[in-house]
Amino acid sequence: MPDWKKLIEGKIALAKRGAKPSAPNPNVRVPAGQKQVNNFPILDLGIKPAISTAEWQLRVYGLVENEIKLDWAQFQALPQLADISDFHCVTRWSQLDMVWQGVRVRDVLALANPHNTAHFATMHSYDGYSTNLPIDALLDDDVILAHSVFSEALPREHGGPVRMIVPKRYAWKGAKWIKAIELHEHDKRGFWEVRGYHNDADPWLEQRFSDDE
Protein backbone atom coordinates (compact mmCIF):
# COMPACT_ATOMS: atom_id res chain seq x y z
CA MET A 1 0.00 0.00 0.00
CA PRO A 2 1.20 3.53 -0.69
CA ASP A 3 2.09 5.84 2.20
CA TRP A 4 -1.15 7.85 2.00
CA LYS A 5 -0.19 10.49 4.51
CA LYS A 6 3.06 11.34 2.75
CA LEU A 7 1.51 11.23 -0.69
CA ILE A 8 -1.38 13.49 0.27
CA GLU A 9 0.80 15.99 2.12
CA GLY A 10 3.20 16.10 -0.85
CA LYS A 11 0.47 16.83 -3.37
CA ILE A 12 -1.16 19.48 -1.19
CA ALA A 13 2.22 21.18 -0.65
CA LEU A 14 2.83 21.30 -4.40
CA ALA A 15 -0.58 22.79 -5.07
CA LYS A 16 -0.15 25.40 -2.27
CA ARG A 17 3.11 26.72 -3.67
CA GLY A 18 2.83 29.98 -5.60
CA ALA A 19 0.68 33.04 -5.94
CA LYS A 20 -2.83 33.91 -4.81
CA PRO A 21 -5.60 33.76 -7.41
CA SER A 22 -5.61 36.52 -10.01
CA ALA A 23 -8.36 37.59 -12.43
CA PRO A 24 -8.76 35.24 -15.40
CA ASN A 25 -7.34 36.67 -18.64
CA PRO A 26 -9.27 35.55 -21.73
CA ASN A 27 -6.14 35.89 -23.90
CA VAL A 28 -4.15 33.25 -22.08
CA ARG A 29 -4.67 29.52 -22.26
CA VAL A 30 -2.66 28.64 -19.19
CA PRO A 31 -4.56 29.58 -16.02
CA ALA A 32 -2.85 31.56 -13.24
CA GLY A 33 -0.47 29.55 -11.11
CA GLN A 34 0.10 26.90 -13.80
CA LYS A 35 3.19 26.12 -15.94
CA GLN A 36 2.89 24.70 -19.42
CA VAL A 37 4.40 21.23 -19.95
CA ASN A 38 4.57 18.86 -22.91
CA ASN A 39 5.55 15.59 -21.26
CA PHE A 40 2.11 14.51 -20.00
CA PRO A 41 3.08 13.66 -16.40
CA ILE A 42 1.53 10.67 -14.60
CA LEU A 43 -0.32 11.16 -11.32
CA ASP A 44 -1.89 8.44 -9.25
CA LEU A 45 -2.13 7.02 -5.74
CA GLY A 46 0.74 4.60 -6.27
CA ILE A 47 -1.56 1.95 -7.73
CA LYS A 48 -1.94 1.44 -11.48
CA PRO A 49 -4.58 -1.27 -11.84
CA ALA A 50 -4.12 -3.62 -14.80
CA ILE A 51 -7.59 -3.96 -16.31
CA SER A 52 -7.88 -5.68 -19.67
CA THR A 53 -10.56 -4.58 -22.12
CA ALA A 54 -12.07 -8.07 -21.67
CA GLU A 55 -12.66 -7.54 -17.95
CA TRP A 56 -13.39 -3.78 -18.03
CA GLN A 57 -16.99 -2.79 -17.30
CA LEU A 58 -18.69 0.52 -16.65
CA ARG A 59 -21.67 0.47 -14.35
CA VAL A 60 -24.17 3.34 -14.00
CA TYR A 61 -26.30 3.02 -10.87
CA GLY A 62 -28.00 4.89 -8.06
CA LEU A 63 -30.90 7.19 -8.99
CA VAL A 64 -31.51 5.70 -12.44
CA GLU A 65 -34.45 4.00 -14.10
CA ASN A 66 -32.25 1.35 -15.76
CA GLU A 67 -29.07 0.36 -14.05
CA ILE A 68 -26.59 -0.43 -16.83
CA LYS A 69 -23.31 -2.29 -17.12
CA LEU A 70 -21.46 -1.66 -20.37
CA ASP A 71 -18.75 -4.02 -21.51
CA TRP A 72 -16.01 -3.06 -23.95
CA ALA A 73 -17.97 -4.00 -27.10
CA GLN A 74 -21.09 -2.14 -25.97
CA PHE A 75 -18.99 0.92 -25.11
CA GLN A 76 -17.22 0.84 -28.50
CA ALA A 77 -20.60 0.62 -30.26
CA LEU A 78 -21.72 4.01 -28.83
CA PRO A 79 -21.21 7.21 -30.89
CA GLN A 80 -17.51 8.06 -30.96
CA LEU A 81 -15.88 11.46 -31.09
CA ALA A 82 -12.53 13.15 -30.84
CA ASP A 83 -12.11 16.22 -28.63
CA ILE A 84 -9.11 18.50 -28.23
CA SER A 85 -8.81 20.11 -24.81
CA ASP A 86 -6.36 21.50 -22.29
CA PHE A 87 -5.42 19.56 -19.16
CA HIS A 88 -4.76 21.42 -15.89
CA CYS A 89 -3.41 19.60 -12.83
CA VAL A 90 -3.73 21.28 -9.45
CA THR A 91 -0.06 20.44 -8.79
CA ARG A 92 0.56 23.36 -11.21
CA TRP A 93 1.19 21.90 -14.63
CA SER A 94 -0.98 22.31 -17.72
CA GLN A 95 -0.68 20.54 -21.02
CA LEU A 96 -2.50 22.12 -23.97
CA ASP A 97 -4.17 20.48 -26.97
CA MET A 98 -4.60 16.98 -25.65
CA VAL A 99 -6.38 14.88 -28.28
CA TRP A 100 -8.87 12.48 -26.68
CA GLN A 101 -11.15 9.97 -28.36
CA GLY A 102 -14.12 8.34 -26.72
CA VAL A 103 -17.78 8.58 -25.91
CA ARG A 104 -19.75 11.49 -24.45
CA VAL A 105 -20.67 10.90 -20.81
CA ARG A 106 -24.11 12.29 -21.51
CA ASP A 107 -24.75 9.54 -24.07
CA VAL A 108 -23.90 6.92 -21.45
CA LEU A 109 -26.06 8.61 -18.78
CA ALA A 110 -28.99 8.77 -21.21
CA LEU A 111 -28.91 4.96 -21.52
CA ALA A 112 -29.47 4.70 -17.78
CA ASN A 113 -32.36 7.19 -17.79
CA PRO A 114 -31.56 9.13 -14.58
CA HIS A 115 -34.37 10.05 -12.19
CA ASN A 116 -35.33 13.73 -11.90
CA THR A 117 -33.94 13.68 -8.38
CA ALA A 118 -30.43 12.77 -9.58
CA HIS A 119 -28.33 15.95 -9.30
CA PHE A 120 -24.85 14.73 -8.41
CA ALA A 121 -22.50 11.96 -9.48
CA THR A 122 -19.63 10.03 -7.96
CA MET A 123 -17.14 8.47 -10.34
CA HIS A 124 -15.58 5.27 -8.95
CA SER A 125 -12.32 3.75 -10.17
CA TYR A 126 -10.57 0.38 -10.08
CA ASP A 127 -7.80 1.78 -7.84
CA GLY A 128 -10.29 2.82 -5.15
CA TYR A 129 -10.21 6.47 -6.24
CA SER A 130 -13.37 8.52 -6.49
CA THR A 131 -14.33 12.04 -7.49
CA ASN A 132 -17.61 13.95 -7.60
CA LEU A 133 -19.35 16.41 -9.92
CA PRO A 134 -22.81 17.86 -10.43
CA ILE A 135 -24.62 16.02 -13.22
CA ASP A 136 -24.94 19.33 -15.10
CA ALA A 137 -21.15 19.42 -15.42
CA LEU A 138 -21.14 15.89 -16.87
CA LEU A 139 -23.63 16.84 -19.57
CA ASP A 140 -21.21 19.26 -21.28
CA ASP A 141 -20.24 18.49 -24.90
CA ASP A 142 -16.57 18.13 -24.02
CA VAL A 143 -16.92 15.66 -21.13
CA ILE A 144 -15.93 12.25 -22.41
CA LEU A 145 -15.04 8.74 -21.42
CA ALA A 146 -11.76 8.48 -23.28
CA HIS A 147 -10.25 5.23 -24.55
CA SER A 148 -7.54 6.87 -26.68
CA VAL A 149 -5.14 9.77 -26.47
CA PHE A 150 -3.28 11.15 -29.50
CA SER A 151 -4.84 8.33 -31.57
CA GLU A 152 -3.30 5.57 -29.46
CA ALA A 153 -5.09 3.32 -26.98
CA LEU A 154 -4.99 5.06 -23.59
CA PRO A 155 -1.98 3.58 -21.77
CA ARG A 156 -2.51 1.92 -18.41
CA GLU A 157 -0.54 4.63 -16.57
CA HIS A 158 -2.91 7.32 -17.88
CA GLY A 159 -6.00 5.39 -16.85
CA GLY A 160 -6.60 2.89 -19.66
CA PRO A 161 -8.70 1.20 -20.78
CA VAL A 162 -11.07 4.12 -20.02
CA ARG A 163 -10.91 7.36 -18.05
CA MET A 164 -13.07 10.42 -17.80
CA ILE A 165 -11.95 13.80 -19.14
CA VAL A 166 -13.57 16.98 -17.78
CA PRO A 167 -11.72 19.84 -19.52
CA LYS A 168 -13.35 22.69 -17.55
CA ARG A 169 -12.14 21.33 -14.18
CA TYR A 170 -8.76 20.51 -12.68
CA ALA A 171 -7.63 17.11 -13.84
CA TRP A 172 -8.32 15.32 -10.53
CA LYS A 173 -12.01 15.44 -11.56
CA GLY A 174 -11.16 13.05 -14.42
CA ALA A 175 -11.26 9.53 -12.98
CA LYS A 176 -8.68 7.17 -14.50
CA TRP A 177 -9.52 3.41 -14.68
CA ILE A 178 -13.18 4.30 -14.30
CA LYS A 179 -15.56 1.51 -13.35
CA ALA A 180 -18.76 3.20 -12.23
CA ILE A 181 -20.83 6.36 -12.17
CA GLU A 182 -23.19 6.58 -9.21
CA LEU A 183 -26.00 9.16 -9.25
CA HIS A 184 -27.33 10.79 -6.09
CA GLU A 185 -29.67 13.55 -5.03
CA HIS A 186 -27.13 15.18 -2.71
CA ASP A 187 -23.46 15.84 -3.31
CA LYS A 188 -20.85 13.46 -1.82
CA ARG A 189 -17.19 14.47 -1.82
CA GLY A 190 -14.64 12.19 -3.50
CA PHE A 191 -11.12 11.06 -2.57
CA TRP A 192 -9.35 14.42 -2.85
CA GLU A 193 -12.42 16.50 -2.07
CA VAL A 194 -12.54 15.05 1.47
CA ARG A 195 -8.80 15.64 1.84
CA GLY A 196 -8.80 19.39 1.31
CA TYR A 197 -9.25 19.89 -2.41
CA HIS A 198 -11.96 22.26 -3.63
CA ASN A 199 -15.31 20.72 -4.46
CA ASP A 200 -15.73 22.65 -7.75
CA ALA A 201 -12.16 22.71 -9.15
CA ASP A 202 -12.45 25.44 -11.81
CA PRO A 203 -8.82 26.16 -12.87
CA TRP A 204 -9.76 29.66 -14.13
CA LEU A 205 -10.97 30.57 -10.65
CA GLU A 206 -8.03 28.76 -9.02
CA GLN A 207 -10.43 26.63 -6.99
CA ARG A 208 -7.65 24.50 -5.52
CA PHE A 209 -8.56 24.08 -1.84
CA SER A 210 -11.68 23.65 0.21
CA ASP A 211 -10.54 26.55 2.48
CA ASP A 212 -11.66 28.80 -0.40
CA GLU A 213 -15.15 27.34 -0.73
Ligand X SMILES: Nc1nc2c(c(=O)[nH]1)N[C@H]1C(S)=C(S)[C@@H](COP(=O)(O)O)O[C@H]1N2
- DSSP-derived 3-state class of residue 46: coil
Site track 167-206 with Mo ion (rule: CB under 5 A), x = hit? -----x----------------------------------
Question: Got the DSSP string for 64-116?
Answer: BSS-EEEEHHHHHTS--EEEEEEEEETTTEEEEEEEEEEEEHHHHHHHH-B-T
Q: Binding residues for ligand X, per CB under 6 A?
A: 41-45, 89, 125, 127, 129, 158-159, 171-172, 174-177
| Beta bridge partners of residue 35, listed in sequence order | 93
Q: Smallest distance from the beta carbon of 115 to ligand X, in angstroms?
A: 26
| Residues from 107 through 136 that contact Mo ion (CB under 5 A) | none
Element housing 181 (H / E): strand 178-184
The listed partner (ligand X, Mo ion, none) that binds 193, CB under 5 to 8 Å by sort, is none
Q: Smallest distance from the beta carbon of 132 to Mo ion, in angstroms?
A: 15
Q: Smallest distance from the beta carbon of 116 to ligand X, in angstroms?
A: 29
Q: Smallest distance from the beta carbon of 121 to ligand X, in angstroms?
A: 15
Measure the CA–CA gap between 91 and 42, rounded to whole angstroms: 11
| Residue 144 binding Mo ion, by CB under 5 A | no
- What secondary structure letter does DSSP report for 190? -
Measure the CA–CA gap between 31 and 45, rounded to whole angstroms: 25
Site track 80-99 with Mo ion (rule: CB under 5 A), x = hit? ---------xx---------
